[in-house]
């Protein structure tokens, strides 16, 4: 999937490709950083681009997603998809609900499928976690995740290859 997206974006500057990949749900910086490595971008150029790209949608999700979902539900638009996304996010929210700040930070920090800034922001919004607290927790989580993914990508791959 990432390869196809890179081909689609192929004429764009490499940095913009990393930014777009890092901003994209599901892929996020977990795909943006390895793509940067594959395109030959240096780590210290990649990190700020991937982190900013990953964080850019977060405030909009925190502030507006419940209103957007309500509007769409009220008008019968994509209700099954909204219910599926909401149910899936809430099924992963137990630790976030109990530990709030620390749970949200750890949820975003662990670079596994289904975790990350997008889902973390959705969970924070649905659990009514205050904007500032959620934003700080997600930002720290994204930075930790970027560190882990960077080590796995730039560190281990350089050692192996």
Q: What is the pLDDT of residue 114?
A: 84
Inside any domain, residue 113: yes
Q: Does position 103 have pLDDT exceeding 90, yes or no?
A: yes
Q: What domain range is 127 assigned to?
A: 58-146
> Are residue 64 and residue 10 in the same domain, yes or no?
no
Q: Which two tokens stand for residue 93?
A: 């929210």
In a domain, 49, yes or no: yes
- Our count of domains for the chain comes to 2
Separation between Cα atoms, residue 115 and residue 96, nearest integer Å: 12
74 occurs within a structural domain: yes
pLDDT digits (tens, 9 = 90+) for 53-82: 999 999 999 999 999 999 999 999 999 999
Question: Which positions ≥6 away from 88 have C-beta within 8 Å?
Answer: 114
The tens digit of pLDDT for each residue in 16-40 reads 999 999 999 999 999 999 999 999 9
Question: Do 100 and 123 have their domain in common?
Answer: yes
Flag whether pLDDT at 95 surpasses 90. Answer: no
Pair (35, 70) in one structural domain = no
What rounded mean pLDDT belongs to the chain? 91
- Are 103 and 129 in the same domain? yes
Q: How confident is the model at residue 93 (pLDDT cuts 50, 70, 90)?
A: confident
Inside any domain, residue 37: yes
Token pair for 35: 């793509």
* One domain for residues 43 and 106: no
Which of 54, 72, 93 is where one domain is finished? 54
Same domain, 69 and 132: yes
Tell me: pLDDT of 109 over 80. yes
**154 in any annotated domain:** no
Torsion 134-85-16-35 (CA) sign: positive
């Amino acid at each position: 999937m990432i390869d196809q997206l890179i081909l689609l974006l192929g004429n764009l500057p490499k940095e913009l490709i990393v930014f777009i990949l890092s901003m994209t749900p599901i892929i996020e910086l977990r795909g943006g950083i390895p793509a940067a490595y594959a395109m030959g971008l240096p780590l210290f150029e990649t990190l700020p681009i991937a982190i900013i790209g990953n964080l850019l949608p977060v405030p909009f999700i925190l502030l507006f997603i419940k209103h957007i979902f309500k509007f769409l539900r009220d008008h019968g638009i994509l209700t099954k998809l909204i219910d599926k996304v909401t149910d899936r996010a809430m099924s992963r929210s137990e630790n976030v609900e109990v530990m709030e700040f620390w749970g949200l930070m750890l949820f975003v920090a662990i670079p596994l499928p289904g975790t990350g800034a997008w889902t973390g922001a959705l969970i924070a919004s649905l659990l009514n976690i205050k904007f500032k607290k959620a934003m700080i927790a997600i930002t720290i989580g994204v930075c930790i995740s970027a560190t882990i993914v960077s080590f796995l990508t730039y560190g281990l791959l350089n050692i192996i290859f």
